[in-house]
């Protein structure tokens, strides 16, 4: 076997340029696969983290009749005594934060310009609101006793030409079906670097949101963040809430789950295309090698080398190309992934609704993806060498010698 590998290495060295570019094709294929996998992993991971931290939480506790799509403010659709329930949930060891939130819809206007918004009534002191607090880029964050302040997203500020300290009119739907309008001061402007969220969401202190919507001592949901996502089911089983509905982050992000499944299907097709191109290069290289060495193959057969050993010889060549290509591909792929993991690349607003995708995607490579893609590329390269190897092994000595002449 060692002798066959020595012969294979020597044969590849006869045309070093062609061998190098064949191995480079394998390397580029693997590097592209690694980069694509890391980008998809980064995008999906970022999307679900954004959805959990900004919008859904790990768990939400709601009234059974609450309809999220309608942002109902009827008292029978809301959670009564939300502070008490949130305190009970926050006492669980696996819970990071539990806080009431009130959702309402309205219009923000200034002068002749207006924008539809979704209003979040929040407890500013809760750790669950850290993403918004840390995202303030102008002005200041809200305080619990603020009755005239509102926090708006950067896209809304740009659209309405607002700065921190400016006054805006806010029209809000109330629990009795009417509309209340008040003037607020823009306390601050925030960004979560997620356009789909920032473009439509504004914040009021919970007490003020309850007052303006006439929902005192009620909330739309109890927003729960956990210390570890994997403990979601354990916390759900530990919750003791009667006459309320408990939803997990999976229940609240069904669109994302479907989108992820669809994206993985399309990515698999891209994987197959890249591997097919790589395999075609290897097949072409080894077929050319077979035709160039027809006389040599005939001589080897004539002196007693069996067809099986000739086939193994060409498979050894494809394995050497595979090893060289995989090593180069791992280096290139890891370098590209490291770069995009550090700097990312800006995609801006993709126009998607229902899925919170960050404006900048950072590559995130997992060990499982690296191992599986490496093995896949190696196996495909070996299989690509199978046809030329079989073709060489079936050559008859006399015909091979004549063909060279």
Query: Hey, what are 242's tokens?
Result: 């009667």
* CB atoms inside a 10 Å sphere around CB 403: 14
Q: pLDDT grade, residue 288 (50/70/90)?
A: confident
Band (349; pLDDT cuts 50, 70, 90): low
pLDDT at 296: 67
pLDDT higher for 108 or 315?
108
Mean pLDDT within 243-248: 91
The share of the chain scoring above pLDDT 70, in percent, equals 88
Is the entire prediction scored with pTM above 0.85?
no
pLDDT of residue 300: 67
**What pLDDT, in 10s, does the model give residues 55-84?**
889 999 999 988 877 778 888 899 999 999
Is pLDDT at 403 greater than 70 in this prediction?
A: no
Mean per-residue pLDDT, 100-118: 91
Distance between CA atoms of 43 and 320, rounded to whole angstroms? 35
Average pLDDT over all residues of the chain: 85
Q: Say which residues have a Cβ less than 8 Å from residue 108's Cβ, sequence separation at least 6.
A: 114, 115, 117, 150, 152, 156, 160, 168, 169, 170, 202
With a cut of 60, say whether residue 351 has pLDDT above it: no
pLDDT band at 405 (very low <50, low <70, confident <90, very high): very low
Say how far apart CA 33 and CA 35 lie, in whole Å. Answer: 5
Question: For 100-109, 116-125, 363-372, 395-404, which range has the lowest pLDDT when averaged over its residues?
Answer: 395-404
């Amino acid at each position: 076997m060692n002798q066959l590998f020595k012969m294979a290495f020597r044969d590849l060295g006869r045309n070093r340029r062609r061998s190098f570019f064949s191995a480079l094709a394998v390397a580029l294929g693997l590097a592209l696969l690694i980069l694509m996998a890391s980008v998809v992993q980064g995008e999906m991971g970022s999307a679900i983290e954004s959805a959990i931290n900004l919008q859904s939480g790990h768990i939400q506790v709601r009234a059974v009749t609450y309809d999220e799509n309608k942002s109902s403010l009827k008292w029978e659709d809301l959670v009564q005594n939300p502070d008490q329930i949130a305190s009970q949930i926050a006492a669980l060891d696996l819970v990071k934060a539990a806080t009431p939130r009130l959702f309402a819809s309205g219009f923000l206007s200034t002068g002749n310009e207006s924008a539809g918004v979704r209003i979040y009534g929040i407890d500013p002191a809760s750790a669950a609101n850290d993403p918004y607090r840390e995202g303030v880029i102008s002005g200041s964050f809200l305080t619990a006793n603020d009755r005239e302040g509102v926090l708006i997203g950067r896209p809304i500020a740009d659209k309405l030409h607002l700065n921190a300290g400016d006054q805006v009119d806010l029209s809000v739907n109330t629990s009795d079906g009417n509309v209340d309008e008040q003037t607020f001061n823009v306390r601050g402007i925030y960004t979560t670097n997620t356009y789909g969220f920032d473009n439509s969401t504004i914040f009021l202190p919970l007490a003020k949101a309850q007052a303006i919507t006439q929902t005192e001592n009620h909330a739309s949901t109890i927003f729960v963040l956990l210390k570890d996502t994997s403990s979601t089911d354990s916390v759900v089983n530990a919750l003791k809430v009667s006459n309320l509905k408990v939803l997990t982050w999976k229940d609240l992000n069904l669109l994302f789950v479907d989108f992820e499944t669809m994206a993985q299907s399309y990515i698999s097709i891209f994987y197959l295309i890249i591997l097919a191109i790589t395999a075609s290069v290897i097949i072409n290289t080894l077929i050319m090698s077979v035709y160039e060495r027809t006389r040599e193959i005939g001589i080897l057969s004539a002196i007693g080398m069996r067809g099986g050993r000739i086939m193994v010889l060409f498979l050894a060549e494809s394995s050497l190309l595979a090893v060289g290509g995989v090593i180069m591909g791992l280096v290139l792929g890891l370098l590209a992934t490291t770069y995009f993991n550090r700097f990312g690349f800006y995609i801006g607003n993709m126009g998607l609704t229902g899925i919170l995708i960050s404006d900048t995607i950072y590559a995130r490579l997992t060990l499982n993806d690296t191992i599986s893609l490496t093995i896949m590329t190696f196996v495909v390269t070996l299989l690509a060498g199978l046809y030329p190897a079989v073709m060489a092994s079936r050559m008859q000595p006399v015909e091979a010698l004549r063909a060279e002449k």
